[in-house]
Amino acid sequence: MAVISEFVAAINQIASERGIDKDDVIAAVEEAMAVAFKRENDMRDLEDVSANFDEETGKVEILVKKKVVKGSPTDVNEISLTEAKKIDAKVKEGGIVTLRYEMGEISRIGAQIVKQVVLQKLREFEKKAVLEQYGDKVGQIFTALMQRMQAGSVVFELDKVVAYMPKEEQIPGEFYRNGERYKVLLKKIETDGVGGTLIVSRSGPDFLKGLFKSEVPEIESGVVEIMAVAREAGSRSKIAVRSNQEGIDAIGSCVGQRGVRIANIMGELGNEKIDIIEWSKDPEQFVANALNPAKVESVKIKDNVATVKVPEDQLSLAIGKDGQNVRLAVKLTGYDIEIVGTESNKKDGKVSKVEEKSQDKDEEKDNINKETK
Protein backbone atom coordinates (compact mmCIF):
# COMPACT_ATOMS: atom_id res chain seq x y z
CA MET A 1 0.00 0.00 0.00
CA ALA A 2 3.04 2.25 0.09
CA VAL A 3 2.62 3.24 -3.53
CA ILE A 4 -1.00 4.24 -2.97
CA SER A 5 -0.34 6.12 0.27
CA GLU A 6 2.59 8.07 -1.15
CA PHE A 7 0.70 8.89 -4.30
CA VAL A 8 -2.35 10.17 -2.46
CA ALA A 9 -0.16 12.24 -0.14
CA ALA A 10 1.38 13.88 -3.19
CA ILE A 11 -2.02 14.53 -4.76
CA ASN A 12 -3.30 16.07 -1.52
CA GLN A 13 -0.32 18.38 -1.49
CA ILE A 14 -0.94 19.42 -5.10
CA ALA A 15 -4.61 19.99 -4.35
CA SER A 16 -3.72 22.16 -1.37
CA GLU A 17 -1.37 24.24 -3.47
CA ARG A 18 -4.02 24.68 -6.17
CA GLY A 19 -6.82 25.44 -3.74
CA ILE A 20 -8.97 22.41 -4.65
CA ASP A 21 -11.37 20.95 -2.07
CA LYS A 22 -9.98 17.86 -0.29
CA ASP A 23 -13.19 15.88 -0.86
CA ASP A 24 -12.84 16.47 -4.60
CA VAL A 25 -9.31 15.07 -4.44
CA ILE A 26 -10.52 11.93 -2.65
CA ALA A 27 -13.31 11.52 -5.21
CA ALA A 28 -10.74 11.78 -8.00
CA VAL A 29 -8.53 9.16 -6.33
CA GLU A 30 -11.48 6.79 -5.91
CA GLU A 31 -12.49 7.15 -9.55
CA ALA A 32 -8.90 6.53 -10.63
CA MET A 33 -8.60 3.42 -8.44
CA ALA A 34 -11.78 1.97 -9.94
CA VAL A 35 -10.38 2.47 -13.44
CA ALA A 36 -7.04 0.92 -12.45
CA PHE A 37 -8.78 -2.09 -10.85
CA LYS A 38 -10.74 -2.84 -14.00
CA ARG A 39 -7.63 -2.69 -16.17
CA GLU A 40 -5.38 -4.58 -13.75
CA ASN A 41 -7.88 -7.44 -13.54
CA ASP A 42 -8.88 -7.39 -17.21
CA MET A 43 -12.46 -6.42 -16.29
CA ARG A 44 -12.94 -3.46 -18.58
CA ASP A 45 -16.50 -4.49 -19.43
CA LEU A 46 -17.68 -4.08 -15.85
CA GLU A 47 -20.28 -1.31 -15.79
CA ASP A 48 -20.76 -0.50 -12.10
CA VAL A 49 -17.43 -0.28 -10.32
CA SER A 50 -16.62 2.22 -7.57
CA ALA A 51 -14.04 2.60 -4.83
CA ASN A 52 -13.98 3.67 -1.21
CA PHE A 53 -10.72 5.19 -0.08
CA ASP A 54 -9.67 5.37 3.56
CA GLU A 55 -7.31 8.33 3.73
CA GLU A 56 -6.02 7.34 7.17
CA THR A 57 -4.95 3.78 6.33
CA GLY A 58 -4.48 4.24 2.60
CA LYS A 59 -6.65 1.17 1.97
CA VAL A 60 -8.96 1.09 -1.02
CA GLU A 61 -12.08 -1.05 -1.15
CA ILE A 62 -13.45 -1.80 -4.61
CA LEU A 63 -17.22 -2.23 -4.96
CA VAL A 64 -18.56 -4.15 -7.96
CA LYS A 65 -22.33 -4.29 -8.42
CA LYS A 66 -23.82 -7.16 -10.42
CA LYS A 67 -27.30 -8.24 -11.41
CA VAL A 68 -28.56 -11.53 -9.97
CA VAL A 69 -29.72 -14.07 -12.60
CA LYS A 70 -31.09 -17.60 -12.40
CA GLY A 71 -28.75 -20.14 -13.89
CA SER A 72 -25.37 -19.38 -15.41
CA PRO A 73 -24.44 -15.70 -16.06
CA THR A 74 -24.11 -14.70 -19.71
CA ASP A 75 -22.48 -11.36 -19.00
CA VAL A 76 -19.62 -10.14 -16.80
CA ASN A 77 -22.07 -7.80 -15.11
CA GLU A 78 -24.23 -10.73 -13.94
CA ILE A 79 -23.90 -13.21 -11.09
CA SER A 80 -25.78 -16.44 -10.48
CA LEU A 81 -28.40 -16.60 -7.76
CA THR A 82 -26.43 -19.38 -6.04
CA GLU A 83 -23.27 -17.29 -5.82
CA ALA A 84 -25.21 -14.14 -4.90
CA LYS A 85 -26.82 -15.83 -1.88
CA LYS A 86 -23.35 -16.53 -0.49
CA ILE A 87 -22.96 -12.77 -0.28
CA ASP A 88 -26.52 -11.81 0.64
CA ALA A 89 -28.86 -14.57 1.74
CA LYS A 90 -31.93 -12.39 1.16
CA VAL A 91 -31.17 -11.45 -2.43
CA LYS A 92 -33.56 -12.57 -5.15
CA GLU A 93 -33.40 -13.05 -8.90
CA GLY A 94 -33.33 -9.67 -10.63
CA GLY A 95 -31.78 -7.99 -7.59
CA ILE A 96 -28.38 -6.35 -7.26
CA VAL A 97 -25.54 -7.67 -5.15
CA THR A 98 -22.31 -5.89 -4.27
CA LEU A 99 -18.99 -7.69 -4.43
CA ARG A 100 -16.19 -6.22 -2.31
CA TYR A 101 -12.48 -6.42 -3.01
CA GLU A 102 -9.54 -4.93 -1.16
CA MET A 103 -7.14 -3.38 -3.59
CA GLY A 104 -3.56 -4.24 -2.77
CA GLU A 105 -0.33 -3.15 -4.38
CA ILE A 106 -0.80 -1.92 -7.91
CA SER A 107 1.69 -2.32 -10.72
CA ARG A 108 3.67 0.53 -12.21
CA ILE A 109 1.26 0.57 -15.14
CA GLY A 110 -1.66 0.71 -12.72
CA ALA A 111 0.00 3.53 -10.81
CA GLN A 112 0.49 5.45 -14.07
CA ILE A 113 -3.18 4.97 -14.91
CA VAL A 114 -4.15 6.29 -11.48
CA LYS A 115 -1.87 9.27 -11.91
CA GLN A 116 -3.28 10.16 -15.32
CA VAL A 117 -6.90 9.88 -14.19
CA VAL A 118 -6.32 11.89 -11.01
CA LEU A 119 -4.43 14.66 -12.79
CA GLN A 120 -7.21 14.90 -15.40
CA LYS A 121 -9.82 15.18 -12.65
CA LEU A 122 -7.73 17.78 -10.84
CA ARG A 123 -7.56 19.86 -14.00
CA GLU A 124 -11.34 19.65 -14.32
CA PHE A 125 -11.85 20.67 -10.69
CA GLU A 126 -9.35 23.49 -11.13
CA LYS A 127 -11.18 24.83 -14.19
CA LYS A 128 -14.52 24.70 -12.37
CA ALA A 129 -12.93 26.57 -9.47
CA VAL A 130 -11.73 29.21 -11.93
CA LEU A 131 -15.29 29.87 -13.10
CA GLU A 132 -16.58 30.04 -9.53
CA GLN A 133 -13.79 32.33 -8.33
CA TYR A 134 -13.34 34.63 -11.32
CA GLY A 135 -16.62 34.45 -13.24
CA ASP A 136 -17.70 37.90 -12.06
CA LYS A 137 -14.22 39.52 -12.08
CA VAL A 138 -13.61 39.94 -15.81
CA GLY A 139 -12.34 43.48 -16.44
CA GLN A 140 -10.54 43.78 -13.10
CA ILE A 141 -6.82 44.38 -12.55
CA PHE A 142 -4.77 41.76 -10.69
CA THR A 143 -1.13 41.37 -9.70
CA ALA A 144 0.23 38.14 -11.17
CA LEU A 145 3.48 36.20 -10.77
CA MET A 146 5.27 35.37 -14.02
CA GLN A 147 6.08 31.65 -14.16
CA ARG A 148 7.27 30.79 -17.66
CA MET A 149 6.85 31.24 -21.40
CA GLN A 150 4.79 28.68 -23.27
CA ALA A 151 4.46 28.70 -27.08
CA GLY A 152 4.71 32.49 -27.15
CA SER A 153 2.24 33.01 -24.29
CA VAL A 154 3.22 34.27 -20.85
CA VAL A 155 2.07 31.94 -18.09
CA PHE A 156 1.20 33.67 -14.81
CA GLU A 157 0.12 32.47 -11.39
CA LEU A 158 -2.93 34.39 -10.22
CA ASP A 159 -3.87 33.52 -6.63
CA LYS A 160 -2.79 29.86 -7.18
CA VAL A 161 -4.62 29.74 -10.53
CA VAL A 162 -2.83 29.61 -13.87
CA ALA A 163 -3.52 32.49 -16.29
CA TYR A 164 -2.32 32.90 -19.86
CA MET A 165 -1.36 36.04 -21.75
CA PRO A 166 -1.23 35.34 -25.52
CA LYS A 167 1.21 37.25 -27.69
CA GLU A 168 -1.46 39.62 -28.99
CA GLU A 169 -2.26 40.66 -25.40
CA GLN A 170 1.37 41.50 -24.57
CA ILE A 171 2.92 44.96 -24.81
CA PRO A 172 5.18 44.92 -27.90
CA GLY A 173 8.83 44.81 -26.92
CA GLU A 174 8.13 44.12 -23.25
CA PHE A 175 10.29 41.42 -21.66
CA TYR A 176 8.81 39.27 -18.90
CA ARG A 177 11.09 37.84 -16.21
CA ASN A 178 10.47 34.66 -14.23
CA GLY A 179 9.51 35.32 -10.62
CA GLU A 180 8.57 38.97 -11.14
CA ARG A 181 5.10 40.39 -10.56
CA TYR A 182 3.08 42.27 -13.16
CA LYS A 183 -0.29 43.93 -13.19
CA VAL A 184 -2.65 42.33 -15.69
CA LEU A 185 -6.25 42.76 -16.77
CA LEU A 186 -8.51 39.70 -16.62
CA LYS A 187 -9.81 40.01 -20.18
CA LYS A 188 -11.95 36.87 -20.47
CA ILE A 189 -12.48 33.30 -19.37
CA GLU A 190 -12.37 30.75 -22.15
CA THR A 191 -14.74 27.86 -21.42
CA ASP A 192 -14.58 24.33 -22.77
CA GLY A 193 -17.65 22.72 -21.23
CA VAL A 194 -15.76 21.57 -18.12
CA GLY A 195 -14.44 24.81 -16.74
CA GLY A 196 -12.52 27.89 -17.76
CA THR A 197 -9.07 29.20 -18.61
CA LEU A 198 -8.07 32.72 -17.55
CA ILE A 199 -6.88 35.00 -20.35
CA VAL A 200 -5.14 38.19 -19.20
CA SER A 201 -3.92 41.26 -21.07
CA ARG A 202 -1.58 44.23 -20.79
CA SER A 203 -1.99 45.65 -24.29
CA GLY A 204 -5.62 46.76 -24.55
CA PRO A 205 -7.33 50.07 -23.72
CA ASP A 206 -9.20 48.44 -20.83
CA PHE A 207 -5.89 47.67 -19.10
CA LEU A 208 -5.02 51.37 -19.23
CA LYS A 209 -8.47 52.23 -17.86
CA GLY A 210 -7.95 49.76 -15.03
CA LEU A 211 -4.59 51.27 -14.11
CA PHE A 212 -6.08 54.77 -13.92
CA LYS A 213 -8.99 53.47 -11.87
CA SER A 214 -6.65 51.80 -9.35
CA GLU A 215 -4.29 54.81 -9.18
CA VAL A 216 -6.82 57.67 -9.20
CA PRO A 217 -9.38 57.56 -6.33
CA GLU A 218 -11.55 60.16 -8.08
CA ILE A 219 -12.10 57.73 -10.98
CA GLU A 220 -12.91 54.87 -8.62
CA SER A 221 -15.49 57.04 -6.85
CA GLY A 222 -17.00 58.35 -10.10
CA VAL A 223 -16.07 61.99 -9.51
CA VAL A 224 -13.82 61.78 -12.57
CA GLU A 225 -14.92 59.67 -15.53
CA ILE A 226 -12.92 58.13 -18.37
CA MET A 227 -14.85 58.83 -21.57
CA ALA A 228 -12.57 57.35 -24.25
CA VAL A 229 -9.19 55.66 -24.67
CA ALA A 230 -6.98 55.25 -27.74
CA ARG A 231 -3.86 53.17 -27.34
CA GLU A 232 -0.87 51.91 -29.28
CA ALA A 233 0.57 49.70 -26.56
CA GLY A 234 4.19 50.29 -25.64
CA SER A 235 4.36 53.56 -27.57
CA ARG A 236 1.67 56.13 -26.87
CA SER A 237 -1.90 56.50 -25.63
CA LYS A 238 -4.57 59.16 -25.34
CA ILE A 239 -7.21 59.15 -22.64
CA ALA A 240 -10.16 61.55 -22.47
CA VAL A 241 -11.57 62.38 -19.04
CA ARG A 242 -14.22 64.66 -17.59
CA SER A 243 -15.20 65.86 -14.14
CA ASN A 244 -18.65 65.06 -12.75
CA GLN A 245 -18.26 67.43 -9.85
CA GLU A 246 -17.81 71.19 -9.92
CA GLY A 247 -14.43 72.33 -8.73
CA ILE A 248 -12.66 69.05 -9.53
CA ASP A 249 -9.94 69.20 -12.18
CA ALA A 250 -10.19 65.91 -14.10
CA ILE A 251 -6.76 66.17 -15.73
CA GLY A 252 -5.09 67.33 -12.52
CA SER A 253 -6.61 64.40 -10.62
CA CYS A 254 -5.15 61.96 -13.13
CA VAL A 255 -1.73 63.58 -13.11
CA GLY A 256 -1.58 63.78 -9.33
CA GLN A 257 0.51 66.00 -7.09
CA ARG A 258 3.89 66.56 -8.73
CA GLY A 259 2.87 64.03 -11.39
CA VAL A 260 3.10 61.05 -9.03
CA ARG A 261 -0.02 59.25 -10.27
CA ILE A 262 0.73 59.47 -13.98
CA ALA A 263 4.36 58.55 -13.28
CA ASN A 264 3.26 55.36 -11.51
CA ILE A 265 1.01 54.41 -14.43
CA MET A 266 3.68 55.12 -17.04
CA GLY A 267 6.20 53.14 -15.00
CA GLU A 268 3.89 50.11 -15.08
CA LEU A 269 3.63 50.48 -18.86
CA GLY A 270 7.36 50.73 -19.49
CA ASN A 271 7.20 54.53 -19.83
CA GLU A 272 4.57 54.44 -22.57
CA LYS A 273 3.66 58.07 -23.28
CA ILE A 274 0.17 59.10 -22.19
CA ASP A 275 -1.74 62.22 -23.25
CA ILE A 276 -4.54 63.09 -20.84
CA ILE A 277 -7.08 65.34 -22.51
CA GLU A 278 -10.32 66.94 -21.44
CA TRP A 279 -13.42 65.39 -22.96
CA SER A 280 -16.04 67.78 -24.34
CA LYS A 281 -19.64 67.22 -25.38
CA ASP A 282 -18.92 69.66 -28.21
CA PRO A 283 -17.51 67.37 -30.98
CA GLU A 284 -15.39 70.12 -32.51
CA GLN A 285 -13.83 71.01 -29.19
CA PHE A 286 -13.25 67.33 -28.45
CA VAL A 287 -11.40 66.87 -31.76
CA ALA A 288 -9.28 69.94 -31.02
CA ASN A 289 -8.43 68.59 -27.58
CA ALA A 290 -7.63 65.16 -29.00
CA LEU A 291 -4.85 66.60 -31.16
CA ASN A 292 -2.99 67.79 -28.08
CA PRO A 293 -0.16 68.84 -27.76
CA ALA A 294 -0.68 70.64 -31.09
CA LYS A 295 -2.43 74.03 -31.02
CA VAL A 296 -5.59 74.07 -33.12
CA GLU A 297 -7.12 77.19 -34.66
CA SER A 298 -10.44 75.76 -35.84
CA VAL A 299 -12.39 72.56 -36.39
CA LYS A 300 -15.31 72.02 -38.76
CA ILE A 301 -17.20 68.72 -38.87
CA LYS A 302 -19.25 67.56 -41.84
CA ASP A 303 -20.39 64.03 -42.67
CA ASN A 304 -18.18 62.55 -39.96
CA VAL A 305 -15.10 64.29 -41.35
CA ALA A 306 -13.37 66.83 -39.11
CA THR A 307 -11.33 69.44 -40.99
CA VAL A 308 -8.78 70.91 -38.61
CA LYS A 309 -6.81 74.09 -39.23
CA VAL A 310 -3.51 74.49 -37.41
CA PRO A 311 -0.67 77.04 -37.70
CA GLU A 312 2.06 76.05 -40.14
CA ASP A 313 4.53 75.49 -37.32
CA GLN A 314 2.08 73.06 -35.67
CA LEU A 315 1.50 70.82 -38.67
CA SER A 316 4.15 68.22 -37.87
CA LEU A 317 3.13 68.20 -34.20
CA ALA A 318 -0.54 67.72 -35.05
CA ILE A 319 0.20 64.86 -37.42
CA GLY A 320 2.86 63.35 -35.21
CA LYS A 321 5.73 61.01 -35.99
CA ASP A 322 4.59 58.50 -38.62
CA GLY A 323 1.11 60.03 -38.26
CA GLN A 324 0.69 58.66 -34.74
CA ASN A 325 -0.85 61.75 -33.11
CA VAL A 326 -3.63 62.17 -35.65
CA ARG A 327 -4.12 58.40 -35.83
CA LEU A 328 -4.73 58.21 -32.07
CA ALA A 329 -7.05 61.23 -32.28
CA VAL A 330 -9.12 59.37 -34.90
CA LYS A 331 -9.39 56.35 -32.60
CA LEU A 332 -10.27 58.55 -29.64
CA THR A 333 -12.97 60.69 -31.27
CA GLY A 334 -14.37 58.37 -33.94
CA TYR A 335 -14.09 61.08 -36.62
CA ASP A 336 -12.02 61.03 -39.80
CA ILE A 337 -9.57 63.89 -39.37
CA GLU A 338 -8.17 66.12 -42.10
CA ILE A 339 -5.44 68.56 -41.06
CA VAL A 340 -4.69 71.71 -43.08
CA GLY A 341 -2.23 74.56 -42.58
CA THR A 342 -3.67 78.04 -42.07
CA GLU A 343 -1.36 79.77 -44.55
CA SER A 344 -1.31 77.49 -47.59
CA ASN A 345 -4.75 75.98 -46.93
CA LYS A 346 -3.23 72.84 -48.40
CA LYS A 347 -4.27 69.45 -47.08
CA ASP A 348 -1.14 68.22 -45.39
CA GLY A 349 -2.48 65.41 -43.25
CA LYS A 350 -5.55 63.23 -43.44
CA VAL A 351 -6.39 60.06 -41.57
CA SER A 352 -9.68 58.19 -41.77
CA LYS A 353 -10.89 55.37 -39.56
CA VAL A 354 -10.53 53.00 -42.52
CA GLU A 355 -6.95 54.16 -43.15
CA GLU A 356 -6.15 53.95 -39.48
CA LYS A 357 -7.25 50.31 -39.40
CA SER A 358 -5.25 49.63 -42.55
CA GLN A 359 -2.15 51.18 -40.96
CA ASP A 360 -2.59 48.99 -37.90
CA LYS A 361 -2.69 45.91 -40.15
CA ASP A 362 0.42 47.08 -42.03
CA GLU A 363 2.23 47.50 -38.72
CA GLU A 364 1.22 43.98 -37.71
CA LYS A 365 2.55 42.64 -41.04
CA ASP A 366 5.84 44.54 -40.54
CA ASN A 367 6.21 43.06 -37.06
CA ILE A 368 5.54 39.55 -38.37
CA ASN A 369 8.07 40.02 -41.16
CA LYS A 370 10.69 41.21 -38.68
CA GLU A 371 10.06 38.22 -36.44
CA THR A 372 10.41 35.74 -39.29
CA LYS A 373 13.67 37.14 -40.55
> Mind listing the pLDDT tens digit for each residue in 233-282?
999 999 999 999 999 999 999 999 999 999 999 999 987 899 999 999 99
> Mind listing the pLDDT tens digit for each residue in 111-153?
677 777 777 777 777 777 777 778 889 999 999 999 999 999 9
For the beta carbon of residue 326, count every other beta carbon within 10 angstroms.
22
Q: What pLDDT score does 282 carry?
A: 96
The amino acid occupying position 93 is: E
> Mind listing the pLDDT tens digit for each residue in 313-325?
999 999 999 999 9
118-157 as b/e, with b when 16 or more CB fall inside 10 Å?
Answer: beebbebbbbebbbebbeeeeeebbebebeeeeeebbbbe
**298-302 and 305-310 strand pairing:** antiparallel
Q: What pLDDT score does 54 carry?
A: 77
Burial of 106 (0-12, 13-18, 19+ CB in 10 A): buried
Q: What pLDDT score does 10 carry?
A: 65
Q: What pLDDT score does 30 carry?
A: 82
pTM for the whole structure? 0.67
- Mean pLDDT value across residues 281-297: 95
Confidence of residue 286 (pLDDT cuts 50, 70, 90): very high
SS3 of residue 55 by DSSP = coil
Q: What pLDDT score does 1 carry?
A: 46
Q: Which residue has the higher pLDDT, 269 or 42?
A: 269
**For residue 43, pLDDT beyond 90:** no
Q: Are 161 and 198 in contact (CB under 8 A)?
A: yes
Domains of the chain in start order, with CATH, are 2-132 (3.30.1480.10), 136-200 (2.40.50.140), 204-279 (3.30.300.20), 286-373 (3.30.300.20)
Burial of 263 (0-12, 13-18, 19+ CB in 10 A): middle
Least confident of 89-103, 119-133, 149-163, 228-242: 119-133
Which sign, positive or negative, has the C-alpha torsion 179, 182, 186, 190?
negative
Q: What pLDDT score does 178 carry?
A: 94
Q: Are 121 and 14 in contact (CB under 8 A)?
A: no
